[in-house]
Homo-oligomer: A and B are copies of this chain.
Amino acid sequence: MAVPDLSTQTTPGPLRLSGTARTALRPAPGAQVVGGFWHERRRINAEASIPQGPGLLETAGNLHNLRLAAGTAEGSFRGDYPFVDSDVYKWLEAASWRLAGIGPGEGGPAVVRLADDVARIIDLVAGAQQPDGYLNTWFQLTKGGARYTDLSWGHELYCAGHLIQAAVAHHRATGQTSLLTIAGRFADHLVSAFGPGPDRGIDGIDGHPEIETALVELFRETGERRYLELAGYFLDRRGHGLLGGGAYWQDRVPLRRAAAVEGHAVRQLYLLAGAADLAAETGDRELHAANERLWEEMAAGKTYLTGGLGAHHDKESFGDPFELPTERAYCETCAAVASVQWNWRMALLTGRARYSDLVERTLFNGFLSGVGLDGRSWLYVNPLQVRDGHTDPGGDKSARRTRWFRCACCPPNAMRLLASLPHYLSSTDGEGLQLHQYASGRFSGEAGGPPVVVNVNTDYPWRGRIEITVEEAPEDREWTLSLRIPHWCRSHSVRLGGQRLPAPAEAGWVRLRRTWRTGEQVVLELDLTPRLTEADPRVDAVRGCVAIECGPLVYCLEEADHQGGGLDRVVLDRTAPLSAEHRPDLLGGVTVITASGRRRPEGGAADWWPYRTAEPVADPAAGSRAAEDEPAADKPAADRAAADDAGQRLELTAVPYYAWANREDGGMRVWLPTR
């Protein structure tokens, strides 16, 4: 079944800078993803994921709560969390991006039904809103309306933020003002209820950031500076103990002075997205610098190979630097979404390629793993290892996909990102077009006249060849086509009309400046040779291990491909070559990487105790590196080496990490020991 319009849809984005914003780059005026990898994921999002929303929100009670608050239903509040309204808003945002540019009654029955669902649910939201603009069913229904009495945990402004984002999306995508009016009334209520000055009531901030970035976007959509100012107030009152001063809430130290990301990962990342928005709109250099500083700290020591963020299940928080356990990696899907949002803002703010490097890595790995191949099953957490003998606790934090969660924040978050994905792929700087991510589609930029437009055709990430054809270009003017050379890429080439161009990457960009002619074709070739990757030695969790990567994709072993399991006993042979084969039949079509290794015999320990005396190392005087690192060839060590080398040789089949947990349950590993 074809999706009406999806492949020709120009999706407006969740980020539209104001005219006075000071950024290196600006979102491109229009982008379409018309085929290839991301088109297929967006098709599933449009056909399978988004249409399920209304039914799931009904079953889970979210819509019931809105009716209760409106007085049009009877019963009691349903759901286990105070922020259940936000699930509705995130879904509305996703559905709105899906409807972008489709007129009333257009797009076929499924799209018409979706538009009807959106209108119906917006009516429910309108009904639940209180006369002064306030809206939060949890507080209205269970707290006797005692607003703002639990800012640390209540999520009232967090929900308001998601409402605002949904309203902006709905307005941009459909031109309708129904939801924007609701959001504006709530925002105006917040402006009057919070903030500095003697006539304001509450000097307070929300435990869960989100309102900051939403208010900046509402300012962009409406031009009303009071929203921008309130966002600035919320940002700068944080870190002064209004929430008790805990790191969990990023309230220990003001963000401008913070040296490290800390606490609850999603909260930290939404806060940083808001801080980047504020830096963009105000030109605040201190805030700009804080964003870059915190990003560097996070990237260098707190980011998983998959782009996943948040090491701890306990409090869903960042760990210490280099504390990146694989088996209990939390890596919430929402944190991946938030990371993409923040990184994209940073890419625009600075123009630096590294932010889009992390966007790419996150999209293809730690984000996409959260979405089942069927679009109807989800992961809340995205660990890098599931052990042999894993006892699954079930529930939200399970390593098995689930249709919906008690805490259902992730699925609609993933839906809204996929629905607005074209927005994150390209930018303009007024001098041309920057391609940050490679997807088949149509991308346009500005260069002082009518838009410059290119068509991209590629099988990326399965093939490294990216064909870029100029579709519209001024005949009389030079402009620059900038191509990001991914951080992982060790070799690339650029051809124009078959001729190889000198095209060194400078700070991650190849910049091709010329007077382009319509029909000219640039072919960028990125080396997709599969590779082994190792970690900084301070990442204790993966010492002595390598991961298999190919292009932007992180790979993993799954028990489903390894009869007999025993993945925790697998050793990869670093001397054997890796080979790649595309398998259209497997997991929706993936390139499989084959490696060679062996499986250690079971029962490594001599008896009941899993620790043993390390054999002494002989002949320190010899001093060679091998002698330092290897047990000497004395009798027991030699025996042990022989025993270690024993074990069944086997072919290892690695599949893209994003596709894991879509077959039968079992073990999984990203990082593989090499000895």
Contacts and interface: CB of A to CB of B under 8 A. Distances in A.
A387 interface: yes
Contacts of A576: 620
Copies of this chain present: 2
A533 B612 contact: yes
A574 B617 contact: yes
Contact of A540 (B321, B323, B389, B541): B541
Interface stretch (A36-44, A81-89, A174-182, A623-631): A623-631
Interface string A384-396: 0101111101000
A629 B303 CA distance: 27
A123 B516 CA distance: 94
Interface in A223-249: 247-248
The interface centre, meaning the residue of A296, A305, A546, A625 with most chain B CB atoms within 10 A of its CB, is: A625
Contacts of A535: 610-611
A137 to B, nearest CB: 27
A18 to B, nearest CB: 29
A299 B393 CA distance: 22
Interface in A465-516: 487-488, 490
A537 interface: yes
B389 A321 contact: yes
A538 interface: yes
Contacts of A322: 387, 568, 610
B354 A301 contact: no
Given A319-B328, A323-B328, A323-B387, A533 B611 contact: yes
B604 A537 contact: yes
Contact of A627 (B326, B547, B575, B619): B575
Contacts of A650: none
Contacts of A327: 319-320, 323, 325, 540
B300 A328 contact: no
A620 to B, nearest CB: 4
Nearest to A262: B391
A630 to B, nearest CB: 6
Contact of A321 (B385, B387, B671): B387
Interface residues on A, range: 35 or more
A532 B614 contact: yes
Given A314-B314, A327-B320, A532 B610 contact: no
Contacts of A675: 628-629
Contacts of A532: 613-614
B610 A301 contact: yes
A545 to B, nearest CB: 7
Contacts of A387: 320-323
B614 A625 contact: no
A16 interface: no
A327 B312 CA distance: 11
Contact of A300 (B605, B626, B628): B605
A151 interface: no
A605 B546 CA distance: 15
A312 B390 CA distance: 14
Nearest to A675: B629
Contacts of A625: 630, 641, 645
A544 interface: yes
Interface string A584-609: 00000000000000001000110011
Contacts of A301: 389, 610
A328 B317 CA distance: 13
A53 to B, nearest CB: 29
A589 to B, nearest CB: 26
Contacts of A191: none
B609 A673 contact: no
A610 B303 contact: yes
Contacts of A357: 609
A619 B301 CA distance: 34
A300 B628 CA distance: 30
Contacts of A573: 628
A613 B531 contact: yes
Interface in A317-374: 319-323, 325-328, 354, 357
Nearest to A625: B641
24 contacts: A260-B391, A296-B608, A300-B608, A314-B314, A319-B327, A321-B387, A328-B328, A385-B540, A490-B613, A531-B613, A533-B611, A534-B613, A537-B604, A538-B568, A540-B568, A540-B673, A541-B541, A544-B544, A575-B617, A575-B619, A575-B620, A625-B630, A625-B645, A629-B630
The 10 closest A-B CB pairs, nearest first, are A575-B620, A313-B314, A536-B610, A320-B387, A532-B614, A544-B544, A534-B614, A574-B617, A543-B544, A536-B604
Given A490-B613, A535-B610, A576-B620, 19 more contacts: A247-B393, A262-B391, A296-B608, A303-B609, A305-B611, A320-B391, A321-B388, A325-B541, A532-B614, A533-B614, A534-B612, A536-B604, A537-B569, A543-B544, A547-B611, A574-B628, A575-B619, A626-B626, A629-B629
